Amino acid sequence: MTRLMTTVMGLGLATGGVFFAQDLIRQAEGARVDARLLHRQMEQTEARHQEWMERLRSYREDLPAEYERQYVFGLAAADTDRHVRLDLSMGQLSLVEDGYVVRVSSVEVGPSLEATADHPAVSIERGIRQIEERVRRGRFEMPAWADPQGEASDKPVKGLYGDRTLVLDDDTVLYSTPKKGPWASDDQVRPGGVEMSFTDMASIFGAVSTGARVYVY
């Protein structure tokens, strides 16, 4: 009788222990799964956060340009004299007078160049410019970026730009590609230059005089 009771108690105790232990293990596994899930969520959220931060940074970087753009556009909008507007982001050059957009031309804007030992930085900045020179079949000095070693002649060369060229007061050049010569290839827009078709250039050239304002935005 005692032996039977001892056996029953012992086995009951052992069985209870087994159930208890299994419950603990289940709980531990649950906690481990939760922790793994949390880590995974954390990684995903981190990635989303980084992506969001990247977008914010990029947006933040664009805002000063947008500010400048709006500022210059505001000035252009209030100008009733005949003037030229150069929209860098749209690649459009417009002839505007008294709020009427008389002509719109597609243009290509040359790339910016960082300053190096051979040449200064070249870029087209937003702002208000003026037409400093209207040049017909003119000669131009070879730009430093095109001739870093200064091997070309010091004399201005012909045919660097097309027949008609408008030079702005910050040395930005509005031009059409020359029809012949080594610079006739229009594969690459000149740094610091704005390239347009021959017809557009000729039309704009005739329409504006020296001193006319050019709004770059």
Question: In angstroms, what is the minimal distance from the CB of 161 to another protein?
Answer: 17
d(CA 94, CA 107): 10
With contacts defined by CB under 8 A, name the span among 58-66, 119-127, 141-149, 155-163 that binds another protein.
58-66
Q: Quick check: 90 binds another protein (CB under 8 A)?
A: no
d(CA 7, CA 196): 102
Is the separation of the CB atoms in 177 and 164 below 8 Å?
A: no
Question: In angstroms, what is the minimal distance from the CB of 2 to another protein?
Answer: 8
d(CA 84, CA 206): 12
Instruction: Rank residues 50 and 153 by Cβ distance to another protein and give the closer one.
Output: 50
With contacts defined by CB under 8 A, name the span among 62-70, 127-135, 139-147, 179-187 that binds another protein.
62-70
Is the separation of the CB atoms in 214 and 193 below 8 Å?
A: no
Instruction: Rank residues 10 and 120 by Cβ distance to another protein and give the closer one.
Output: 10
Instruction: Rank residues 43 and 118 by Cβ distance to another protein and give the closer one.
Output: 43
Per-residue x/- marks for another protein, 9-38, CB under 8 A?
-xx-xx--xx-xxxxxx-xxxxxx-xx--x
DSSP single-letter state for residue 145: T
Q: Quick check: 77 binds another protein (CB under 8 A)?
A: yes
Q: Quick check: 42 binds another protein (CB under 8 A)?
A: yes
Using the CB atoms, write b or e for 12-41: b if 16+ within 10 Å.
eeeeeeeeeeeeeeeeeeeeeeeeeeeeee
d(CA 197, CA 163): 11
Task: State the greatest distance between any 2 C-alpha atoms of the chain, in Å, as a whole number.
Answer: 126
Please give the residue ranges that form the binding site for another protein (CB under 8 A).
2-3, 6-7, 10-11, 13-14, 17-18, 20-25, 27-32, 34-35, 38-39, 41-42, 45-46, 49, 52-53, 56-57, 59-60, 63-64, 66-67, 70-71, 73-74, 77-78, 82, 95, 97-104, 199, 202-203, 206-207
